[in-house]
A and B are shown apart, each in its own frame.
Chain A
Amino acid sequence: MNPLSPFTYYRRHKRSALLQIALISLATVGLFVLVAVLDTIPLRANVSYLTRLSHVSPIGDALDPTVVSQIETHPDVARVIPDNGLWLSTPTLFGTDNQLLMGVSAEDAEYLMQHCGVRLKEGRMFEPRTNEIVLSEEVVRALDLELGDEISRAVDEDYYEAIPAPLALVGILEGVSEPSVRMGFVSAEYLNSHELYAPRATSLLVVAQEGRKAAVEDFLETTIRSRYTEVETFTGLVEIFKAVRVGIYIIFGVINSVVALVMAFTVGVINRIAMTKRLSEFGLLHALGRQRKQLIRRLTLETATVAWLGCLAGLGAALVIMSWLRNSFFYDLGVELNLFNPAPFLFVLPIPLIVIALTFFSIRRIFAQLDAVAIVERGELSEEQKARQAVKRSSAKPLSSLTFYLRHRRRGILVVLSMALMVLGITFPVFLFSAMASAILPSIEYLQYVSEISPIRSELDPGIVGQIRSHPAVAYTVPVIRLGMQMILPPGGGTDANIYGVSEADLSILLEWFDVQVQEGRLPQPRSNEIVLSAAIAANRDLHVGDVIGGEIENDSEFVTDNLPTEMVVVGLLSPDHPWIGFASYEYLHSHELTSSRSPRLLIIPREGQKQILDGWLEESVDSTQTRIVTYAAKEREHREMTTATVLTFAALECMIAVVAAIALATLNHIFFSQRKEEFGILNAVGRSRPWLVWRTMKETGSVVGVAWVVGAVLCGIGLLGMQNLVYGPRGLSLDFFSLAPWLLTMPLPLIVALASVSTIAWMLHKLDPVAIIERR
Chain B
Amino acid sequence: MLQGENLTLTYQDGETTLDAVHDVSISVKDHQFIGILGPSGSGKSSLLYLLSGLRKATQGEIYLDDRAYGKMPERERVALRRTEFGFVFQQHFLINYLTAQENVMVAAPVQDKPHAEQAKALLADLGMGDKLHRFPYELSGGERQRVAIARAMIHRPRVIFADEPTGLLDRHTGLQVMALLRSYREQGSLIAVTHNPEILAEADLIVRMRDGQVVNIEDRVVRQTQEAIV
Contact = CB atoms under 8 A, between A and B. Distances in A.
Interface stretch (A174-182, A504-512, A683-691): A683-691
B111 A399 contact: yes
Nearest to A408: B97
A389 B82 CA distance: 30
Contact of B107 (A684, A686, A689, A776): A686
A688 B78 contact: yes
Contact of A686 (B74, B102, B113, B151): B151
Nearest to A692: B78
B102 A403 contact: yes
Contacts of A393: 133
A66 interface: no
Given A687-B107, A770-B54, A407 B78 contact: no
A2 interface: no
A682 B111 contact: no
Contact of A683 (B106, B116, B163): B106
A682 B78 contact: no
Contacts of A683: 106
B79 A689 contact: yes
Nearest to A389: B135
A774 B137 CA distance: 19
A776 B89 CA distance: 12
If over half of A's interface residues share one DSSP class (helix, strand or loop), that class is named, otherwise mixed; here it is: loop
A763 interface: no
A379 to B, nearest CB: 11
B184 interface: no
Nearest to A678: B93
B106 A394 contact: no
Given A399-B111, A774-B163, A394 B83 contact: no
B45 A775 contact: yes
B107 A395 contact: no
B54 A771 contact: yes
B49 A771 contact: yes
Contacts of B80: 687
B97 A686 contact: no
Contact of A684 (B78, B111, B137): B78
A593 B97 CA distance: 84
B55 A687 contact: no
Interface residues of A, number: 35
A391 B99 contact: yes
B87 interface: yes
Nearest to B163: A774
B195 interface: no
A487 B99 CA distance: 63
Given A407-B97, A679-B95, A771-B55, A395 B82 contact: no
Nearest to A775: B45
Given A396-B105, A685-B87, A686-B82, A774 B75 contact: no
Contacts of A400: 111
B194 to A, nearest CB: 15
Contacts of B99: 391, 394, 398
A678 B137 CA distance: 15
A392 interface: yes
Interface in B136-159: 137, 151
Contacts of B208: none
B133 A687 contact: no
B132 interface: yes
Nearest to B161: A685
- Of listed A408, A679, A691, residue having the most chain B CB within 10 A: A679
B154 to A, nearest CB: 10
B103 A689 contact: no
A751 B99 CA distance: 33
A396 B113 CA distance: 6
Given A391-B99, A403-B102, A686-B106, A396 B75 contact: no
Contacts of B111: 396-400
A398 B75 contact: no
Interface string B47-90: 00100001100000000000000000011001111110111010
A391 B138 CA distance: 12
B49 A686 contact: no
B112 A682 contact: no
A404 interface: yes
A394 B116 contact: yes
Contacts of A681: 93
Contacts of A392: 133
Contact of B83 (A403, A408, A687, A691): A687
Contacts of B45: 775
Given A686-B82, A687-B82, A399 B106 contact: yes
Contacts of A678: 93
Given A389-B135, A396-B113, A404-B97, 15 more contacts: A386-B137, A391-B133, A393-B133, A394-B102, A394-B116, A396-B105, A396-B115, A397-B111, A398-B102, A682-B93, A685-B93, A686-B86, A686-B151, A687-B83, A774-B54
8 contacts: A386-B137, A391-B135, A396-B112, A398-B111, A399-B111, A686-B86, A687-B80, A775-B45
Interface of B: 45, 49, 54-55, 74-75, 78-83, 85-87, 89, 91, 93, 95, 97-103, 105-107, 111-113, 115-116, 132-133, 135, 137, 151, 163
